[in-house]
Structure 1
């Protein structure tokens, strides 16, 4: 199942309004699962809480230069700039997302601290050692070559710089035919070619030169959001069957409905898990 950069752009550009509706994106423009714990009261809290948890793990401070690798419409970049006063650069494959992110940064008064550009995080234009933190929420899953992502992020990080990734990971490398079919069905709908295993991704990071690689399982922390998607999608699965026979944009929506339904079944079936990976680029000496 080969998925191109153009496929990913078409997916996000087509579904931007759908995300806004399903995720109730108002002031908080986070396009991720969110993080449910004792500090979380509702879905909006969960979206912001995930940013807070990752910022704590990455030890983000005002002095940091942060790269949001796969920034979407700028939700995390805007949060970091507003919360810490740090400088954040967001990159995405979608020019439409770049325009939206810039507009939202102006709306929230953080335009002077943020910049957004169309760029592939596997091959960026940045100089070596440009950033102190690399941040990636639910974007590395789209990388066709996770090893290339790891090498490039190591290159653009300054010595001592930190990497934090929150994403889905395959529970194991090999599945039985039924499990493989379910995974393929929902990954395809979200324009993801394949999920790395934790072991495989950790190996990519180590091979690139990262140290202090740590995985924290957060499956239970995203389960309420996963179930929310399932609940919304279940009554309209019939609509997906109709839309699949229509034009490309409606077909994208159809596949998204199927994915929203299937991801929960696969998660509760133990076929994938959600987690946070942190790592560090060693400093000299």
Structure 2
């Protein structure tokens, strides 16, 4: 795999190498992701001062909070850019009656998403396709909403991705992004090494400060840009995930069963959870959301 830079805020791999690594990672570990994280393979959202609803309910809450942040209107036509195993697309189709196209570069994720849509009874309102979100084949002005839930960190060219979102949105349409972010641009060498280890183990291109995402959105022509830092609301995800991984790590028979099935990369995967917990505790990793609009007449 070709490393292109040593900065923590720039791509580490060439795009072809990154795409190959992402496909291998998610195609190979999809069952383990589902076993550990459940239907929604993303952060949860815990509201301040409210009782703990549990991890899975918190993950659904994050989707609902992002819907409200948009907002996403009922019956909207949505592009789910980096759809994973389809949980968000199925939620939008089932709860809001949206028509959703989900795209990913993982063949295994497509199969899982399609099967889940059938079980959820939304197969008529969801489509899942193998498409690169930075270079889609959709016509201009196709969607009311582009939804990117924890996929921006995978994109090696963030500006190209945002420009593609701008292109496929209808005039007046909404871009909604929730993504891992860097605290800022002033990272010391130890913090940079921590992020590089996370990039390697989670197969992530790189992260940016939330303010930089807002700047890039403006540069591609999006307007009414609003951001929010949800780090305090989501970081319990990694406290709980560490507890979930501990029984696996402590049982050699389970580990070697996973190694036989998935290969030696399983060690990196299991190690990535405490790394993320450490990154949040040290304030190096943040969690940001962004909402922007394609101007009318564009």
TM over 0.5: yes
Partner of 1:132: 144
Moved more, 229-238 or 71-80: 229-238
Report the secondary structure of 1:229's partner residue.
helix
Conservation of the 8 A alpha-carbon contact between 1:14 and 1:252: no
Partner of 1:19: 33
d(CA) in 2 for partners of 1:147 and 1:133? Answer: 18
CA RMSD of aligned residues (A): 2.0
1:4 to 2:26 alignment: no
Partner of 1:261: 274
Q: From 179, 198, 209, give the equivalent of 1:197.
A: 209
1:146 to 2:155 alignment: no
For structure 2, the 5+ residue unaligned runs are 1-11
Q: From 167, 184, 195, give the equivalent of 1:155.
A: 167
d(CA) in 2 for partners of 1:59 and 1:238? Answer: 45
Partner of 1:60: 72
**How much does 1:18 deviate?**
0.9
Moved more, 268-277 or 74-83: 268-277
Report the secondary structure of 1:120's partner residue.
coil
Structure 1 length-normalised TM: 0.91
Partner of 2:193: 181
Aligned residues: 277
Partner of 2:81: 69
Conservation of the 8 A alpha-carbon contact between 2:36 and 2:245: no
d(CA) in 2 for partners of 1:77 and 1:270? Answer: 31
Partner of 2:236: 224
1:47 to 2:59 alignment: yes
d(CA) in 2 for partners of 1:252 and 1:131? Answer: 38
**How much does 1:12 deviate?**
0.9
**How much does 1:214 deviate?**
1.2
Conservation of the 8 A alpha-carbon contact between 1:94 and 1:118: yes
**How much does 1:89 deviate?**
0.5
Structure 1 residues 136 and 39, CA gap change in structure 2 (3 angstroms): farther
Moved more, 52-61 or 159-168: 52-61
d(CA) in 2 for partners of 1:270 and 1:135? Answer: 26
Q: From 124, 128, 142, give the equivalent of 1:112.
A: 124
| 1:130-178: CA deviation from partner (whole Å, max 9, x where unpaired) | 0000101111100000000010000000000001111110111231111
Structure 2 length-normalised TM: 0.88
**How much does 1:86 deviate?**
1.2
Partner of 1:164: 176
1:280 to 2:293 alignment: yes
| 1:6-49: CA deviation from partner (whole Å, max 9, x where unpaired) | 100111111111111111x2xxx211111111375111110111
For structure 1, the 5+ residue unaligned runs are none
Structure 1 residues 228 and 92, CA gap change in structure 2 (3 angstroms): same
- Segments of 4+ moved more than 6 angstroms: none
Q: From 42, 46, 53, give the equivalent of 1:36.
A: 46
Partner of 2:222: 210
**How much does 1:248 deviate?**
10
**How much does 1:249 deviate?**
3.5
**How much does 1:233 deviate?**
4.0
Partner of 2:6: none
Conservation of the 8 A alpha-carbon contact between 1:168 and 1:275: yes
